[in-house]
Structure 1
Amino acid sequence: MLKSFKKTRFYRPFIWLKRGIIALVSLWLVGIVFFKFLPVPFSAVMVERQVSAWLSGDFGYVAHSDWVPMNEISSPMALAVMAGEDQKFPEHWGFDVGAIQAALTHNEDEDANIRGASTLSQQTAKNLFLWDGRSWLRKGLEAGLTVGIETVWGKKRILTVYLNIVEFGDGIFGVEEAAQHFFHKPASRLTPSQAALLAAVLPNPHLFKVNAPSAYVLRRQQWILRQMSQLGGDSFLTEHSLR
């Protein structure tokens, strides 16, 4: 009897851990299914930013986004994020193997800045369901969730969710909120130049500012504009059924 009791006490933490993992995976699966059809009210990164602000005593910070469907987002904006972040987005199955190999080779140099190779699909999975930071655990979970959204959602839905939850500045999430905050217009009216400027800060919207662009951001904006043209403009979106 006593031996059985001790054994139960020993295994109890593992039982709760197993139940917690099952519950979390179930929640993610439900989220993937529901958000194929429903607007996303908030993301895990938004929650992380909000809680972090409160814990640091910043009660004025508000993580905010306004959901808009793809037909209310300008074509240049959809094209700009692909031109700047993931030009193979319509073709890959969630992972850009070539970019990953190039990043691994680049990062072998101890003096080089760490280069990422996350696709828009991976970024969407991470922003929506996970947390910021670098770890093998998070990358593993991100990979599994990426396969899930690629399988269930499809490219247009992934792009729509990405544009609605991506961070453009402190408390500014989603392209509609960014368009209103920085340009005082809806996302549907963003010009190619404005879209390229928004896309130019996405590697690090806390370091790079839309309303105070550095020389690097301005150069990146011009590069993104050239890439948008080379991709084919609106015809690129139509060809891949992204509008």
Structure 2
Amino acid sequence: MRRVYNVILKTIGWFIVVSLSLVLLFKFVPVPITLSMIGQAIEYGELQYDWEPIEDISPELAIAVVAAEDQLFPEHFGFDVEAIKKAIKRNEKSDKLRGGSTISQQTAKNVFLWQERNWIRKGLETYFTVLIELIWGKKRILEVYMNVCEFGPHVFGAESASKAYFKKTAHALSRSEASKMAAVLPSPRKWKIVNSGPYVQKRSAHIQRQIRQLGGISYLKALN
């Protein structure tokens, strides 16, 4: 029994050391690949992924993803309690589960974990969310999020998506284009950025209205 106890303690200790090391590393180094990217590469036989620093990504995309996914991003510490409560209430009345994840939580999941929902993953997601909020800061979290999130089948990151769908770099994205990209983030394999249907067009217009209400790109200037 004591041997089992020691093994458990060592396993936990190594997990903490490795996870902290990875979080510290990715504060300064681009994320090379994620589990989702590996899965897509296997499924489609190809992967489009180009990392770009946040300075080389249009601020219109940054404010678009915040307006679409997590408007309290500059203010919270990784978790939007009210959004989580609303998601729980919705899920009690519907068979279709919906999350209340923030950009920080989604970044933690995308970089360090897998996509399937279960309590183990949610627990680890909480752990990594706290770490990146403490160690990375908001600006780095947003930078990583825009680089690793999926915008379509085997297309990851702002630069790859911009080139694939608009034939331009992420630095040159307009507000309209950025809003279309942000509009598909909940289900990037279901909805299309170009030749999109009524839902994406409507959601894109809504995102642009939200951007104006937030005050435009100046809303994110204070990110550390």
- TM-score bin (small chain): over 0.9
2:68 paired with 1:77 = no
Q: 1:42: Cα distance to partner? A: 1.4
Report how far residue 24 of structure 1 moved.
3.9
What is the aligned partner in structure 2 of residue 109 from structure 1? 93
SS of the equivalent of 1:203 reads coil
After TM superposition, give the deviation of residue 178 of structure 1 in Å: 0.3
Among the aligned pairs, what percent are the same residue? 46
In the alignment, is residue 216 of structure 1 matched against residue 207 of structure 2? no
SS at match of 2:74: coil
Paired AA for residue 35 in structure 1: F
Aligned length: 224
CA–CA distance in 1 between the matches of 2:49 and 2:195?
Answer: 21
Structure 1 match to 2:35: 44
Give the corresponding residue for 1:168: 151
Contact preservation (8 Å) 2:104, 2:133: yes
Task: Say whether the 8 Å CA contact 1:176–1:187 is kept in structure 2.
Answer: yes
> Aligned with 1:197: secondary structure?
helix
Structure 1 residues 20 and 45: CA distance shift in structure 2, 3 A: farther
Scaled by the length of structure 2, the TM-score of the pair is: 0.93
Say whether the 8 Å CA contact 2:151–2:188 is kept in structure 1. Answer: yes
2:215 is the counterpart of 1:229: no
**1:241 and 2:219 matched:** no
Aligned pair 1:139/2:122, yes or no? yes
- C-alpha distance in structure 2 between counterparts of 1:24 and 1:173, whole Å: 27
TM-score of the aligned structures, taking structure 1 as reference length: 0.86
Find the counterpart in structure 1 of residue 71 from structure 2.
Answer: 87
**Is this contact kept in 1: 2:74–2:220, CA < 8 A?**
no
Aligned partner of 1:27: which letter? V
Structure 2: runs of 5 or more not aligned: none
2:23 aligns to what? Answer: 32
* Structure 1: 5+ residue stretches without partners: 1-6
Q: Which moved more, 1:77-86 or 1:101-110?
A: 101-110
Contact preservation (8 Å) 1:48, 1:131:
no
Deviation of 1:47 (Å): 2.3
The 8 Å contact of residues 208 and 217 in structure 1, kept in 2 or not, is answered as: yes
Distance in 2 separating the partners of 1:22 and 1:213:
48
- 1:159 maps onto 2:150 in alignment: no
Question: Could you say what the CA RMSD is over the residues aligned between the two structures, in angstroms?
Answer: 2.0
For the residues of structure 2 that align with 1:241 and 1:130, how far apart are their CA atoms? Answer: 25
Alpha carbons 1:125, 1:145 under 8 Å: kept: yes
